[in-house]
C-alpha cells in the first residue's frame, strides 16, 4: 500500500494543475503589466513543488486489519504548505478520493485541491517576482497494470509584483489529458490560456 501511495500521489501531483473549490478567491483576470514566459514558468515550477509536497504528507490508507487483496475505498484530506525561496508560502488544501486494489495497485482516484499563493517570492534568471492568489486544481487518475490515464483542469489566477516595478494579474484556464501504455511514450495534451497566452508553451504538468 505504501508503494501504491507514493506512485499515485506522485503521479497525480506531477500530471497537472486543476479545478477544485478550496483556494479562496482566485484573481482570474488579465490586467496591468505582463510577465515574461520565464517568470510564468517559475510560478508553475513553484506550484509543482508545492503539489509534490502531498507525497511527503500522505498518511497510510490501508485497512486497519491489513491487506485485503481487493478494491478498497480511499478518502484522505490534504493540507500542506511550503516556503517560497524568497519568502512567503504556498499552501495546498483539499482531498483525494477513489478506489485502489491493494493487491494489483490498480486505482481510480480523484484529487481536488486549492493552491494559495501568499506573498510568494520567486527568483528567475532575470529578476524576482512576488505572487498572491489562488489556483483550483482537479485531476482524475486511473492506474492499471502497465498503463495510466489522467485528465483535469486548472482555473484561477494570481496578482504579481516584480522587482523592476511591474504589477498586474493573470488568469489561468487550462484543460489537460495524459496517457501512457508500457513500452510507449506518454501522450499528453494541454489547452487553454495562461496570462492571455497559449498554455501549451508552458510546462504545467511537472513544473520542471
pLDDT tens-digit profile of 25-38? 445 789 999 999 99
pTM, to two decimals? 0.75
Q: In terms of Cα–Cα distance, which of 178, 169, 167, 168 is closest to 200?
A: 178
Residue 132 predicted with pLDDT over 70: yes
pLDDT value for 53: 66
Q: Is the pLDDT of residue 63 over 60?
A: no
Instruction: Specify whether the CB–CB gap between 147 and 118 falls below 8 A.
Output: no
Nearest 5°: CA angle at 137, between 172 and 59? 155
Q: How confident is the model at residue 114 (pLDDT cuts 50, 70, 90)?
A: very high
Average pLDDT over residues 119-144: 92
Q: What is the enclosing helix (H) or strand (E) of 132? A: strand 128-144
Reference 101, options 127, 131, 72; nearest CA is 72
6 and 14 in contact (C-beta within 8 Å)? no
Answer whether residue 15 shows pLDDT above 50: no
Least confident of 21-25, 98-102, 130-134, 148-152: 21-25
C-alpha–C-alpha distance, residues 114 and 37, integer Å: 24
Amino acid at each position: 500500500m505504501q508503494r501504491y501511495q507514493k506512485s499515485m500521489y506522485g503521479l497525480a501531483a506531477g500530471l497537472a494543475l486543476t479545478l477544485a473549490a478550496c483556494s479562496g478567491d482566485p484573481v482570474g483576470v488579465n490586467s496591468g503589466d505582463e510577465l515574461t514566459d520565464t517568470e510564468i514558468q517559475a510560478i508553475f515550477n513553484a506550484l509543482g513543488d508545492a503539489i509534490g509536497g502531498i507525497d511527503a504528507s500522505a498518511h497510510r490508507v490501508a485497512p486497519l486489519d491489513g491487506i485485503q487483496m481487493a478494491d478498497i475505498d480511499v478518502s484522505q484530506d490534504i493540507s500542506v504548505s511550503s516556503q517560497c525561496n524568497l519568502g512567503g508560502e504556498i499552501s495546498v488544501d483539499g482531498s483525494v478520493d477513489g478506489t485502489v486494489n491493494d493487491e494489483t495497485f490498480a486505482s481510480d482516484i480523484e484529487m481536488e485541491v486549492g493552491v494559495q499563493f501568499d506573498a510568494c517570492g520567486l527568483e528567475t534568471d532575470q529578476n524576482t517576482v512576488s505572487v498572491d492568489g489562488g489556483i483550483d486544481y482537479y485531476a482524475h487518475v486511473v492506474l492499471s497494470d502497465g498503463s495510466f490515464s489522467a485528465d483535469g483542469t486548472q482555473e484561477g489566477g494570481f496578482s504579481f509584483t516584480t522587482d523592476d516595478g511591474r504589477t498586474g494579474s493573470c488568469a489561468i484556464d487550462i484543460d489537460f489529458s495524459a496517457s501512457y501504455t508500457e513500452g510507449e511514450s506518454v501522450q499528453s495534451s494541454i489547452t487553454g490560456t495562461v496570462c492571455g497566452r497559449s498554455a501549451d508553451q508552458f510546462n504545467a504538468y511537472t513544473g520542471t
